[in-house]
């Protein structure tokens, strides 16, 4: 990825002269650095994009603000996640590389505090009886409300307190998914494998990768929800609960359940095309393909699917989605990749949503901390387009 541009490239990018570019640099709007191979300085493409976006908003503020809520110009500044040219980064580190080399709890520590060596607090949840007969995400929300009502520290967003409450929330979710109190985030993927009664050795590694890739994805629906609720002064438990509500929607994390259903159909059908046609006819789309931010394909899905291919698991499912991708001319996204993982290892139908949510809880907490410590109340205005008020009756 070309993070820095030459002066000629930077000027062309903004549509200005190099003299104007240098003026922007002198005002502190664009960062530059010395080039190791030439005398000319190089200019930060991120700063150039930020300046370009501001200029576009000034040209047509109403249009740009109205479009910002649907894949438009950036609304908020963040130090958490960068998505750029088909890759994404957590606080400046390549998320894919982290997923390949680190453990989930290490990346969570980095995401919250830029320190992967931060000590994880000792388990702070009391022992619970086994959860029976409840969908785990719903069970988590019920228990989360009770936990937050009894924890005044939930309103304290200082880093030490965030670690205590954040790990408490993550382990509560892990308890609800596994149905056991004898779990810890330090061994989360292994605990999930044991709970889902599979002895296939590749699963913990794949789960760890999936969890890290799911931590954050910039200002998605649930993360924006978390920031809005945090900005209102709610505690961290209420923030996560609200974000879970958004996550469960069928156009967000709930898409994984549709992908699970879709894959199950493909596995039991003799012909692929009729199923694709029926999904498009009945739903208007086929779940699990394409992503607006990744025209060349969702890198999260590519990493996870490639790992399964290398470990020779999910071969029937991988063949099916390859055939579907050829017909649809679109590539699989993370929702479908999580469903492939679940179907290949015989995991329960809630597994795609549960894996995605467990990873994303860490992201929501990071967004909540950033919003509370550096942002104000999120209160956008609406542009009224309804009928004008009627004129008052004359006497």
- Active-site annotation, residues: 291, 335
If you ran DSSP here, which 8-state letter would residue 289 be given?
B
CA angle in degrees (0–180, nearest 5) for 91-294-213? 45
Q: Characterize the bridge pairing of strands 4-5 and 41-44.
A: antiparallel
Q: What would the two tokens of residue 65 be?
A: 């603000």
Secondary structure in 3-state letters for 25-82: HHCCCCCEEECCCCCCEEEEHHHHHHHHHHHHHHHCHHHHHHHHCCCCCCCCCCCCEE
Q: What would the two tokens of residue 180 be?
A: 């056991």
CA dihedral of 247, 153, 176, 112, whole degrees rounded to 10: 60
Sign of CA dihedral 249, 252, 256, 262: positive
Q: Are 48 and 30 spatial neighbours (Cβ–Cβ below 8 Å)? A: yes
d(CA 264, CA 322): 15
Burial of 113 (0-12, 13-18, 19+ CB in 10 A): middle
Q: Are 336 and 322 spatial neighbours (Cβ–Cβ below 8 Å)? A: no
**Any residues with CB less than 8 A from the CB of 235 and at least 6 apart, and which?**
148, 151, 154, 155
């Amino acid at each position: 990825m070309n993070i820095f541009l030459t002066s000629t490239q930077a000027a062309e990018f903004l549509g200005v002269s190099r003299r104007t570019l240098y003026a922007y640099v002198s005002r502190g709007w664009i960062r530059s650095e010395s080039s190791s191979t030439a005398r000319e300085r190089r200019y930060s493409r991120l700063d150039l994009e930020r300046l370009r976006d501001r200029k576009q908003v000034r040209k047509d503020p109403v249009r740009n603000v109205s479009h910002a809520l649907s894949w438009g110009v950036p609304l908020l500044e963040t130090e958490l996640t960068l998505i750029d040219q088909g890759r994404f980064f957590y606080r400046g580190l390549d998320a894919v590389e982290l997923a390949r080399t680190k453990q989930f709890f290490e990346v969570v520590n980095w995401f919250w505090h830029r320190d992967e060596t931060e000590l994880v607090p000792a388990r702070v949840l009391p022992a619970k009886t086994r959860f029976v007969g409840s969908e785990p995400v719903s069970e988590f929300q019920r228990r989360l409300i009770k936990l937050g009502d009894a924890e005044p520290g939930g309103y304290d967003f200082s880093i030490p307190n965030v670690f205590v409450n954040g790990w408490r929330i993550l382990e509560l979710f892990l308890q609800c998914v596994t149905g056991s109190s004898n779990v810890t985030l330090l061994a989360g993927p292994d605990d999930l494998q044991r709970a889902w009664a599979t002895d296939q050795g590749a699963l913990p590694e794949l789960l760890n990768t999936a969890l890290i890739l799911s931590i954050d994805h910039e200002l998605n629906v649930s993360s924006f929800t978390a920031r809005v609720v945090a900005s209102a002064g709610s505690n961290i438990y209420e923030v996560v609960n609200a974000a879970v509500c958004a996550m469960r929607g069928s156009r967000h994390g709930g898409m994984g359940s549709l992908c699970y259903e879709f894959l199950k159909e493909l596995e039991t059908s003799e012909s692929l095309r009729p199923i694709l046609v029926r999904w498009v006819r009945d739903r208007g789309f086929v779940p699990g393909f394409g992503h607006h931010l990744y025209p060349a394909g969702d890198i999260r899905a590519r990493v996870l699917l490639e790992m399964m291919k290398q470990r020779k698991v999910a071969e029937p499912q991988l063949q099916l989605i390859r055939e579907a991708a050829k017909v649809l001319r679109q590539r699989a996204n993370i929702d479908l990749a999580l469903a492939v993982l679940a179907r290949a290892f015989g995991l329960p139908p809630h597994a795609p949503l549960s894996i995605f949510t467990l990873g994303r809880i860490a992201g929501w907490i990071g967004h909540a901390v950033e919003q509370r410590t550096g942002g104000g109340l999120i209160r956008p205005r609406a542009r009224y387009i309804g009928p004008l008020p009627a004129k008052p009756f004359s006497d």
